[in-house]
Amino acid sequence: TQGQVITCKAAVAWEPNKPLVIEDVQVAPPQAGEVRVKVLYTALCHTDAYTWSGKDPEGLFPCVLGHEAAGIVESVGEGVTEVQPGDHVIPCYQAECRECKFCKSGKTNLCGKVRAATGVGVMMNDRKSRFSINGKPIYHFMGTSTFSQYTVVHDVSVAKIDPVAPLEKVCLLGCGVPTGLGAVWNTAKVEPGSIVAVFGLGTVGLAVAEGAKAAGASRIIGIDIDSKKFDRAKNFGVTEFINPKEHEQPIQQVIVDLTDGGVDYSFECIGNVSVMRSALECCHKGWGTSVIVGVAASGQEISTRPFQLVTGRVWKGTAFGGFKSRSQVPSLVDKYLKKEIKVDEYITHNLTLADINKAFDLMHDGDCLRVVLDM
Ligand code: NAD
Ligand code: AHE
Ligand code: ZN
């Protein structure tokens, strides 16, 4: 198949909110600096649902969504040296070129090399898509487009992992789990003994709890409007639960009262701007730090009294938990193999690509964390 167009199945989002359609798509061979990957397993993340909804300013249609996956390199384009056909890989929506201003800064995991192209659904080389249906181009998404049996990614957007790792599990290390762990370890740098609040107990929030427990937090307060989430959350490290619906006072006040003035660290893992405010304002005066992890829709804005920051609270955000993708995803896979981090526990459902619309429906179900699709 090397050098040839591959025709395979992919779930195409033709329009916002319209059911995805399994189509025969043509996937062009990788050009210079590109890698064609046979995707074996992909999970669904709430960011896919967000873009599908039409609220993402970077959402372009028709497109192939998907960014949490694992697969095997099928072929590589000219000049690609770090991976070769047969390598097991995790596509990384957050690239790492190790050469740009961002990569060299030592201050961020964001990379500038291909971001301009991935934000508009094309590849960097010729600003065109590698996906088409009978000659009509279909946009890429987040530089990954994993809801396809084959995809083309930039070589700076693919992490080579230990071939021993079960791809049907480690696909989760492409987004949600690292995001939560890294928000705690890299962005907030939670110290032992800290009091932590986690808003939203989905995959990302539970990974925050897991990371906080590993970091030695003394209390991990989980906040969710669905009380059923608490039982499961205990297994991930949550020690106390609050349902804002069961309180008359603003939730930040409830938390401040429970913690002698506020928490040391808080994490918003929902994408709701009013919860982001609560998460900041439940932080302790003088040092409390709040990390925004959730993605809020276009047009939404955050607000608080500047006095909150003047008096020492810190507001931050994180993308992919601050992990440098190509360098650190392989180590996360190794940590999973050594049973130092959970992955299996976040998978609640397994389906096939043909059932992708059912998988999106399942995401609204309170019991659902990650659905993994066998491609
Ligand atoms: P999820 O839907 O599984 O989890 C959200 C949880 O929040 C649910 O348990 C829900 O019951 C709860 N919730 C909803 N409204 C609430 C409210 N008002 N108060 C308290 N709890 C509330 O989602 P997820 O897959 O865990 O993703 C969480 C967010 O993180 C999404 O916005 C996603 O787009 C974003 N995300 C960001 C990054 C990043 O790099 N920054 C990476 C992955 C995901
Ligand atoms: N296009 C969206 C941006 C969405 C966003 O913030 N994405 C996160 C990853 S979410 C993964 O589930 C991210 O890493 N952002 C950094 C980046 O470079 O995109 C919008 O709303 O505009
Ligand atoms: Zn995601």
What atom in ligand 1 is closest to the CA of residue 369? 3
Query: What spacing in Å lies between the alpha carbon of 247 and ligand 1's midpoint?
Result: 21
Q: What is the pLDDT of residues 166-203, one digit of tens each?
A: 999 999 999 999 999 999 999 999 999 999 999 999 99
Q: Which two tokens stand for residue 370?
A: 């990650």
Query: Cα–Cα distance between 226 and 60 in angstroms, integer?
Result: 32
Ligand nearest to the CA of 230: 1
Longest CA–CA span in the chain (Å) reads 65
Q: According to the model, what pLDDT value does residue 364 have? A: 87
Q: Which two tokens stand for residue 204?
A: 């990302």
End-to-end CA distance of the chain: 18
Cα 176 to the center of its chain, rounded Å: 4
User: Which of 63, 103, 269, 282 does the annotation list as catalytic?
Assistant: 103
Query: Cα–Cα distance between 173 and 148 in angstroms, integer?
Result: 18
**pTM of this structure:** 0.98
Q: What is the pLDDT of residues 244-285, one digit of tens each?
A: 999 999 999 999 999 999 999 999 999 999 999 999 999 999
- Residue 19: asked if its preceding bond is cis (omega within 30°), the reply is no
Q: According to the model, what pLDDT value does residue 239 have? A: 98
| Contact criterion met (CB below 8 Å) for 68 and 43 | yes
Residue 124: which pLDDT band, with cuts at 50, 70 and 90? very high
Q: Which two tokens stand for residue 42?
A: 């992909």
Q: Is the CB of 140 under 6 A from ligand 1?
A: no
User: Which of 23, 42, 47, 74 does the annotation list as catalytic?
Assistant: 47
In 250-343, beta strands by DSSP E: 265-268, 289-292, 314-317
For a mutational test of ligand 2's pocket, the pick from 51, 63, 93, 370, i.e. the residue with the most ligand atoms closer than 8 A to its C-beta, is 93
Q: Is the CB of 200 under 6 A from ligand 1?
A: yes
